């Protein structure tokens, strides 16, 4: 209730602002995205060669070995092409003048818009990190739709991390389906836990197996976003499915990887297809993939999984590693649950910390050699980092470190990142358009030392 019920007294009292600045209510950012190397590149493509076969010209019969001499040193050349992301905001003169200093607002309007645009860039790039360039999020909901009528749909938690109020989503038969042929287009109205209220453009309802993607992620049937881990280490329809052979046999950055999938597309472990799958623990699945990668000489120094899987993984360890400390009955007793750090080892391979990344698809995990994974960018990648170190919890304060570019002179590429151009003229005056440009691709320079796995019960939504 109000401090007073008397109108005259209320008009006498001021509004008291107890806390400076603007609170950040957005999700945390991807710890893996911040951790991987970012390298600057140029040129039309970034090529690298890889040897996938030593050949069979070694035997006790010289003539037999000679006949196989042409098989020695089998090589391919990857031709990496960039994806792209644009994060945009506009400013007019009234907005700039209304809060030139903190006396006019909780923070400068331009700085607030720059922070929001930067966060959008980070979170969408995190979505691309765990995708294959098509903006795929999850299996499409089969909820009945009515054109222009709001409806609630349920999405997985990892998909919720990658969208926001105002996002446009597309339902497609496959992730590579052109958006012009999308089954439906959805606008996000509200997000409440895993319940998302959307307004569809048509009455079309998705069939089982359809995919939900971020709108604006394809040019026809070609991906526009940076290609991520599920492009380099694909699990499309699983290794055992018929779709795998047709997918892995197509050209990927100029390479047909079907000739030797484990080396050219990385190791794969499917717990659901394993013996005694229903009782298989997550920790066992992780060790199986480490074993595969160790054979390939992998350092296996990065394990990444969804935070829900990390909790299950930690609980498995806790139930088998319980220690009791006896204390005097006169002393107070303290207890704690969970782990601050979880590590894994196999012989001489030791992974100091497992990364719990909420952007990682639940049920899926990755084991990587850090020196083999990078982001190759034409543009400046400083905005990818939010200032929070490593896998630490926390969120950056919006008022710290953000500089408004809308009042800068018009230019195409300031700081190798920002483009400042004229926006639409409105009844309130002219506007300036600020665009954050990001051109580049995630790359796995040695797929043989990196792998992906699926825990028991996981659902593979990434249709070919």
CATH number at residue 168: 2.40.33.10
Indicate whether 206 belongs to any domain.
Answer: yes
pLDDT, mean of residues 35-39: 92
- Taking the C-alpha atoms of residue 311 and residue 323, their distance in angstroms, rounded to an integer, is 19
Same domain, 81 and 202: no
The answer to which of 162-166, 291-295, 421-425, 438-442 has the lowest mean pLDDT is 421-425
Query: Which of 87-91, 190-194, 238-242 ranks highest by mean pLDDT?
Result: 190-194
Indicate whether 179 belongs to any domain.
Answer: yes
Same domain, 300 and 394: yes
Same domain, 365 and 418: yes
pLDDT, mean of residues 301-328: 73
Kindly tell me if the per-residue pLDDT of 288 is higher than 70. yes
| DSSP secondary structure string for all residues of 300-358 | --EEEE-HHHHHHHHHHHHHHS-------TTS------S-S---EEETTEEES-EEE-T
The parent domain of residue 161 ranges over 134-221
Reference 111, options 413, 445, 398, 331; nearest CA is 398
Same domain, 372 and 447: yes
- Taking the C-alpha atoms of residue 306 and residue 294, their distance in angstroms, rounded to an integer, is 23
pLDDT at 340: 47
pLDDT at 27: 81
Same domain, 201 and 309: no
Structure-token pair, residue 410: 């018009």
pLDDT, mean of residues 219-228: 95
Average pLDDT, the chain: 85
Q: Which residues contact 361 (CB under 8 A, 6 or more apart)?
A: 130, 138, 156, 158, 306
pLDDT in tens, 326-352: 444 545 444 333 444 545 555 554 455
Reference 445, options 47, 165, 8; nearest CA is 47
Same domain, 198 and 105: no
pLDDT in tens, 399-454: 765 677 877 878 888 888 989 988 778 888 888 899 999 999 999 999 999 999 98
The answer to which of 47-56, 232-241, 307-316 has the lowest mean pLDDT is 232-241
pLDDT, mean of residues 199-222: 94
Indicate whether 70 belongs to any domain.
Answer: no
Indicate whether 142 belongs to any domain.
Answer: yes
Q: Which helix (H) or strand (E) holds 137?
A: strand 136-139
pLDDT in tens, 53-84: 888 888 888 889 889 898 888 899 999 999 99
Same domain, 200 and 232: no
pLDDT at 324: 39
Kindly tell me if the per-residue pLDDT of 386 is higher than 60. yes
Same domain, 254 and 383: yes
- Taking the C-alpha atoms of residue 141 and residue 266, their distance in angstroms, rounded to an integer, is 30
In eight-state DSSP terms, residue 185 is: E
CB atoms within 10 A of CB 52: 18
Reference 140, options 159, 120, 162; nearest CA is 159
Indicate whether 64 belongs to any domain.
Answer: no
Q: What share of the chain has pLDDT > 70, as a percent?
A: 85
Kindly tell me if the per-residue pLDDT of 260 is higher than 70. yes
Helix axes 282-295, 307-320, angle to 10 degrees: 100
Indicate whether 352 belongs to any domain.
Answer: yes
**Pick from 191, 221, 251: which residue ends a domain?**
221
The answer to which of 30-39, 195-204, 260-269, 386-395 has the lowest mean pLDDT is 386-395
Kindly tell me if the per-residue pLDDT of 51 is higher than 80. yes
Residues shown for the chain: 464
More confidently predicted of 86 and 73: 86
**Pick from 171, 202, 221: which residue ends a domain?**
221
- Taking the C-alpha atoms of residue 266 and residue 452, their distance in angstroms, rounded to an integer, is 7
Same domain, 295 and 363: yes
pLDDT at 204: 94
Kindly tell me if the per-residue pLDDT of 310 is higher than 60. yes
Indicate whether 121 belongs to any domain.
Answer: yes
pLDDT at 338: 43
pLDDT, mean of residues 262-291: 82
The answer for 25, left when phi > 0, alpha when psi is -120 to 50, beta otherwise, is alpha
- Residue where the block lists tokens 């599920």: 230
Q: Which residues contact 215 (CB under 8 A, 6 or more apart)?
A: 135, 167, 168, 169, 170, 179, 185
pLDDT at 23: 78
Same domain, 291 and 348: yes
**Pick from 188, 203, 221: which residue ends a domain?**
221
Same domain, 182 and 39: no
Q: Which helix (H) or strand (E) holds 228?
A: none
pLDDT at 28: 85
The answer to which of 119-128, 171-180, 185-194, 393-402 has the lowest mean pLDDT is 393-402
Spatial contact of 311 and 362, defined as CB atoms under 8 Å apart = no
More confidently predicted of 238 and 115: 115
**Looking at the 3D structure of the chain, how many domains does it have?**
2
pLDDT at 105: 83
Burial of 263 (0-12, 13-18, 19+ CB in 10 A): buried
Same domain, 309 and 173: no
Indicate whether 96 belongs to any domain.
Answer: yes
Q: Which residues contact 407 (CB under 8 A, 6 or more apart)?
A: 91, 96, 110, 432
């Amino acid at each position: 209730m109000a401090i007073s019920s008397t109108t005259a007294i209320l008009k006498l009292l001021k509004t008291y602002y107890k806390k400076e600045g603007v609170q950040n209510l957005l999700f945390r950012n991807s710890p893996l995205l911040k951790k991987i190397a970012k390298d600057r590149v140029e040129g039309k493509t970034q090529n690298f060669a890889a040897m996938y076969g030593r050949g069979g010209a070694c035997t006790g019969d010289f003539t037999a070995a000679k006949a196989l001499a042409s098989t020695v040193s089998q090589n391919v050349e990857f031709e990496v092409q960039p994806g792209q992301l644009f994060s945009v905001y506009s400013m007019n003169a009234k907005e700039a003048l209304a809060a030139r200093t903190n006396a006019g607002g909780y923070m400068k309007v331009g700085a607030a818009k720059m922070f929001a645009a930067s966060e959008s860039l980070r979170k969408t790039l995190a979505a691309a990190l765990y995708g294959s360039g098509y903006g795929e999020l999850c299996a499409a909901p089969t909820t009945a739709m009515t054109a222009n009528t709001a409806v609630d749909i349920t999405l997985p938690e990892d998909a919720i991390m990658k969208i926001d109020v105002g996002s446009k989503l597309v339902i497609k038969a496959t992730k590579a389906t052109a958006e012009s042929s999308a089954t439906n287009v959805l606008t996000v109205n509200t997000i409440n836990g895993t319940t998302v209220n959307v307004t569809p453009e048509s009455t079309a309802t998705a069939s089982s197996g359809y995919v939900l993607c971020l709108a604006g992620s394809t040019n026809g049937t070609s991906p526009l976003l940076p290609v991520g881990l599920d492009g380099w280490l694909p699990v499309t329809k699983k290794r055992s499915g018929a779709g795998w052979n047709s997918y892995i046999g197509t050209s990927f950055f100029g390479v047909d990887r079907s000739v030797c999938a484990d080396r050219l597309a990385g190791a794969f472990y499917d717990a659901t297809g394993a013996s005694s799958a229903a009782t298989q623990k997550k920790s066992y699945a992780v060790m199986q993939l480490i074993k595969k990668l160790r054979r390939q000489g992998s350092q296996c120094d990065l394990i990444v999984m969804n935070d829900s899987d990390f909790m299950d993984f930690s609980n498995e360890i806790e139930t088998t590693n319980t220690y009791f400390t006896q204390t005097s009955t006169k002393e107070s007793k303290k207890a704690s649950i969970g782990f601050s750090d979880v590590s894994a080892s196999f012989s001489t391979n030791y992974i100091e910390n497992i990364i719990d990344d909420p952007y990682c698809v639940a049920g899926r995990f990755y084991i990587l050699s850090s020196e083999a994974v990078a982001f190759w960018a034409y543009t400046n990648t400083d905005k990818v980092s939010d200032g929070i170190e490593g896998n630490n919890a926390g969120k950056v304060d919006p008022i710290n470190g953000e500089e408004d570019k809308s009042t800068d002179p018009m230019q195409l590429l300031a700081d190798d990142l920002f483009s400042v151009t004229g926006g639409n003229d409105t009844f309130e005056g002219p506007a300036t358009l600020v665009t954050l440009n990001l051109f580049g691709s995630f790359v796995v320079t040695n797929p043989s030392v990196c792998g992906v796995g699926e825990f028991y019960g996981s659902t593979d939504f990434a249709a070919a």
